[in-house]
Amino acid sequence: MERTLIILKPDAVQRRLVGEVIGRFERKGLRIAAMKLMKISAETAATHYADHKGKPFYDSLVGFMTSEPVVAMVLEGHKAIEVCRKLMGATFGFAAEPGTIRGDFGISNQFNLVHGSDSADAAKREIEIFFAEGGVIDYSVADDAWNAAD
């Protein structure tokens, strides 16, 4: 069982796409282990995007992510990171394939609707930023056995 951090960015919340996006992850067989609607602080955004500090897009990225509420969640399931990244699609909406979240709902480079961890190490670090100890819940669902088969 693998966990990943997913953030539905301000553009997804503002465009009322939260239910649609969450539904895509759930229909794929992923389980929500934590979720909250929140306004990201500048400090949290700086910690989360520390790897991008100094890049030309850093200030606008932090400004965007702190501008309006987001939905932060932990999803878990078999190969959750890879599955989520495929569901999200290419980073830039104009390049994302139809059928993906970004391909169906985005065209912008900057406003790309959703963030997902890109590795197990990143997921662990990012989950700790957004969810305090005890904030992620373990539980089982009826279809766990069907989704775990290799």
Q: Where exactly are the structural domains of the chain?
A: 2-136
Task: Determine whether 115 is an active site residue.
Answer: yes
Determine contact, residues 126/48, Cβ cutoff 8 Å. Answer: yes
pTM of the model: 0.93
**Can you read off the two tokens belonging to residue 109?**
């480079």
**Can you read off the two tokens belonging to residue 38?**
């929140």
- φ/ψ of 141, rounded to 5, equals -125, 160
Q: What is the CATH number of domain 2-136?
A: 3.30.70.141
pLDDT (tens digit per residue) in 88-137: 999 999 999 999 999 999 998 889 999 999 999 999 999 999 998 889 99
Q: Which of 48, 52, 78, 115 is catalytic?
A: 115
Average pLDDT over residues 31-57: 96
